[in-house]
Amino acid sequence: RMLELREEGASLNDMAVLYRSHYQSMEIQMELTKRGIPYVVRSGLRFFEEAHIKDVLAYLKVLHNPRDEISWSRILKLLPKVGEKTAAKIFLRLSESGDPLAEIRGAGVLSLLPSGAERSFKSFQATVEQLKEKIASPAEMVKTVSKSNNYEEYLKSQYANYRERMEDLDQLGSYAVQFKNLEEFLSALALVSEIEAETVVDRVSRETEACVLSTVHQAKGLEWKAVFVVWLADGRFPSYLSFNKEEEIEEERRLFYVAVTRAKDELYLSYPIVYSGYDGEVLMKVSRFVEELPEHLYEKWEIAEESVFGGDPEKEIDLSEYREVKLKSPAFEAIDIKDLDFMR
């Protein structure tokens, strides 16, 4: 839809994608990158530049290429009392071995550790053992690393927002579900990184167009001509964590109000009908905040079945691929959403 608006004369600078939590931007970033649409992330670093994402991917990279020195160094230095020098010594031993993954799981490498590091290193060895011998799918690999005692404890000790970082890793795992093997998954990520370097700009300038990706919190006080609010599914926006407290639901409702009032001209509210995660596909329910909107204010569309399960994924989407479910009065465009009773 962004490309269609641009063809109609709109600038990407006048478009924004808003979401409740930063982790919800991952697939948006991936899709925009694949389509070569420039974007600026206002909610934090680009998804694959986040330290915790790089950490988990480093585990997967050494499984794919056991002689990857950069990835080994990264994951070894996550361990307590293992610094640059110790990591270098361990990698030297691995590089001289005929089978680095077998060597890292053996007892010999323990002699290179400083005093007091053995316990956490053995836990690390168990994680590598599990990844190498028992797990085949990329999604399960991501889950195994992120839920391992070693890495979860590391996140808790290093970051006040470790819960949000765990949500990011859950999102990475959910994205990995679509890939059958590790090589396919890492190849897809490498391809996106190459495209990103060529087509995605870092800053908006007069000569450059780039849409904005932002959390709703960080969009307060800002406006764009066209705004896309994504992940409007119950449990995501509002968050399931707010379900048991009325005051928290009201805070989520106020946040939704902020989101929908960022649009000057056009507002698009969307949610996934089906979510693919670790446990398979889950049917999603539209956010209660969308259901509270008076029906005469909007047009409702659903993606046609053939658009979801078939067709060329590289083809640009146009409105012919949508089926209209309800078409309300066009007068909705003239109504100020600030006047809605449920928002007061």
Q: Which two tokens stand for residue 28?
A: 């948006």
pLDDT of residue 219: 92
How many CA atoms lie within 13 Å of 92's alpha carbon, on the beta-carbon side? 7
Task: Using pLDDT thresholds of 50, 70 and 90, give the confidence band for residue 134.
Answer: confident
Which region among 126-130, 136-140, 219-223, 307-311 has the lowest average model confidence (pLDDT)? Answer: 307-311
DSSP readout, 203-267? S--TT---EEEEETGGGTT--EEEEEE---BTBBTTBGGGTT-HHHHHHHHHHHHHHHTTEEEEE
**Is the per-residue pLDDT at 221 higher than 50?**
yes
Count of structural domains within the chain = 2
- 42 assigned to some structural domain: no
Same domain, 224 and 177: no
Question: Which of 269, 320, 265, 318 has its CA nearest to residue 1?
Answer: 318
pLDDT of residue 175: 86
**φ, ψ for residue 105, nearest 5 deg:** -95, -5
**Is the per-residue pLDDT at 64 higher than 90?**
yes
Helix intervals (H) in 96-238: 100-104, 118-133, 138-147, 149-158, 162-176, 182-199
- 263 assigned to some structural domain: yes
pLDDT of residue 193: 64
- 39 assigned to some structural domain: no
How many CA atoms lie within 13 Å of 211's alpha carbon, on the beta-carbon side? 25
Mean pLDDT throughout 131-137? 83
Tens-place pLDDT, residues 164-220: 899 889 889 988 988 989 999 999 888 766 554 444 444 444 357 889 999 999 899
How many distinct helices (H) and strands (E) make up the chain? Answer: 14, 9
Tens-place pLDDT, residues 280-337: 677 889 999 999 988 888 888 876 654 443 444 444 444 333 333 333 333 333 334 3
Same domain, 10 and 105: no
Same domain, 180 and 239: no
- 278 assigned to some structural domain: yes
Same domain, 186 and 220: no
Mean pLDDT throughout 70-92? 94
Same domain, 70 and 181: yes
Question: Which of 331, 333, 184, 203 has its CA nearest to residue 266?
Answer: 333
pLDDT of residue 279: 66
Question: Which of 92, 89, 88, 55 has its CA nearest to residue 74?
Answer: 55
Which residue, of 155, 174, 190, is where some domain finishes? 190
Percent of the chain scoring above 70 in pLDDT: 81
State the residue range of the domain holding 305: 2-20+216-343
Q: Which two tokens stand for residue 288?
A: 């209660």
Distance CA 297, CA 51 (A): 42
pLDDT of residue 200: 40
Distance CA 264, CA 259 (A): 12
pTM tops 0.85: no
Same domain, 57 and 186: yes
- 71 assigned to some structural domain: yes
The secondary element (H helix, E strand) that includes residue 74 is helix 69-76
CATH code: domain of residue 104? 1.10.486.10
pLDDT of residue 69: 96
pLDDT of residue 201: 41
- 29 assigned to some structural domain: no
Same domain, 273 and 307: yes
Instruction: Name every residue whose Cβ is closer than 8 Å to that of residue 282 and which is 6 or more positions away in sequence.
Output: 274, 275, 276
Percent of the chain scoring above 90 in pLDDT: 41
Tens-place pLDDT, residues 5-48: 988 989 999 999 999 988 888 888 888 888 888 888 886 677 88
CATH code: domain of residue 220? 3.40.50.300
Same domain, 12 and 99: no
**Is the per-residue pLDDT at 83 higher than 90?**
yes
pLDDT of residue 70: 96
